[in-house]
Amino acid sequence: MTLKQLESSVKYLKEKGFEAPEIGIVLGSGLGRMVEEIEEPLVAHYHNIPFFPLATVEFHSGKLVYGNISGKKVVVMQGRFHLYEGYDFKDITYPIRVMQKLGIKKLLISNAAGAINLDYKKGDLMLLEDHINLQGGSPLAFKNVAEFGNRFVDMSEPYDRQMRQMLLDIASENDIRLQTGVYAAVVGPQLETRAEYRMLGRMGADAVGMSTVPEVIVANQLELPVIAVSVLTDECDPDNLQPVNVSEILAVAAKAEPGLVKLFKLLIAGLKDN
């Protein structure tokens, strides 16, 4: 990855009309409905954007959508990239760098995850307070990383405190069930064994998934305030573990999605320009 490649991607998007977005949004598995809220949308398919990776997972789209939500200009990433697709950390986080170069000032991330905390139920939303990186690497571990920001990035508070509190207040005011917790990021694509679920619980994880953490690390390097919300699509009880059903996971995500969309829309409306 080079600055020249980033500039080429950004130039293409600006020529398509992606001018001065304020907020970037990353949509997780089964969580694409947010794009329906965009007014006057412009679409750029990943395969047309210079140096952009391509989404390979069947339930992930592959496009950036630009437009207006709640009176703010947004750019929405519909379809993200994962280690389990064979990408490296630089590929996974390339779109975050592109959105920041386009001008975003805030980043909102969603994902689908499994509930390790057995007090949480499938269909719940969980606001990430912290995370555990179990993906075996870092998106900052490459030779010329200093060209893009600090190499040694502080991660004492990776998720923006102000936006987290705003989301908690919005959830309370709108009777939306919003848990809080720690997200563990693993490689996948296989799901966890009973022993692995027990280990994750003992480590302090409330949920487990296969994304988000690399994007959050890069957002912190770029000094880009970020928050993330998980849709908890299954309950990972090692003593009562059922075989995974991907179609059921996607159905749970779809059912919980309106609450997530409402949270994000109201948060966007409440964010001050800066």
How many Å apart are CA 31 and CA 14, to the nearest integer? 26
Mean pLDDT score across all residues of the chain = 93
pLDDT tens digits, one per residue of 65-105: 999 999 999 999 998 899 999 999 999 999 999 999 999 99
Using alpha carbons, select from 196, 230, 213, 81 the residue that is nearest to residue 135: 213
CB neighbourhood size of 56 (10 A): 14
CATH architecture of 3-270: 3-Layer(aba) Sandwich (3.40)
Per residue, the 3-state secondary structure of 25-69, as one string, reads: EEECCCCCHHHHHCEEEEEEEHHHCCCCCCCCCCCCCCEEEEEEE
pTM of the predicted protein model: 0.94
pLDDT tens digits, one per residue of 211-239: 999 999 999 999 999 999 999 999 999 99
pLDDT band, residue 273 (cuts 50/70/90): low
Conformational region of residue 29, where left means phi above 0, alpha means psi within -120 to 50, and beta covers everything else: beta
pLDDT band, residue 274 (cuts 50/70/90): very low
CB neighbourhood size of 153 (10 A): 17
Given a cut of 90, whether residue 192 has pLDDT beyond it is: yes
Percent of the chain predicted with pLDDT > 90 = 82
**Domain ranges for the chain:** 3-270
